[in-house]
Amino acid sequence: MERDQIHPQLLADCHLLGSLAASTVLLNRNAALPWFILVPDTRLNDILDLPEHHRDVVMADCAAVSAFIKQVLGFAKVNFAGLGNVVPQMHLHIIGRSEDDPCWPQPVWGNLPGGEQYEPLQLLGWQADLQKMVDLRPADLSLQY
């Protein structure tokens, strides 16, 4: 999916890290939690409407990001959701959670305080780790600052 096809609100709220087999990978700008958002390559609005094979590939992308959050970032719990009430374009939230995060045990929506922003080197590091671990095709992060 091309960057100009991603909903403007998602681009305003997130860093564009790159793409996987069937999804564009975004990272919420608020560094309080590792909050990844995958935007599947489709014009459909709901994951359950995808043809089975496409849905399986999208879910594999989600599982890969979840594995990254657990194995590389060290989170034992990952929340997964696809809501789309505010932004109609299909996007799937994959969020690392821990008992000491600022929202625990509440959901992040409406409970996430303003947080620090990611440093460019941290973004590049996570992007490189995702490239090695899950075959992320990286976006040019220098264009996002």
- Separation between Cα atoms, residue 17 and residue 30, nearest integer Å: 14
Q: Round to whole Å and give the CA distance between 45 and 43.
A: 6
Residue 3 has pLDDT above 50, yes or no: no
100-111 confidence digits (pLDDT tens): 999 999 999 889
**Interval 32-81: pLDDT, tens:** 999 999 999 999 999 999 999 999 999 999 999 999 999 999 999 999 99
Residue ranges and CATH numbers for the domains of the chain are 3-136 (3.30.428.10)
| Secondary structure percentages of the chain, helix, strand, coil, to 5 | 35, 25, 40
Q: What is the model's pLDDT at position 145? A: 56
Q: Indicate if the alpha-carbon torsion angle 125, 61, 24, 94 is positive or negative.
A: negative
Tokens of 25: 């990978």
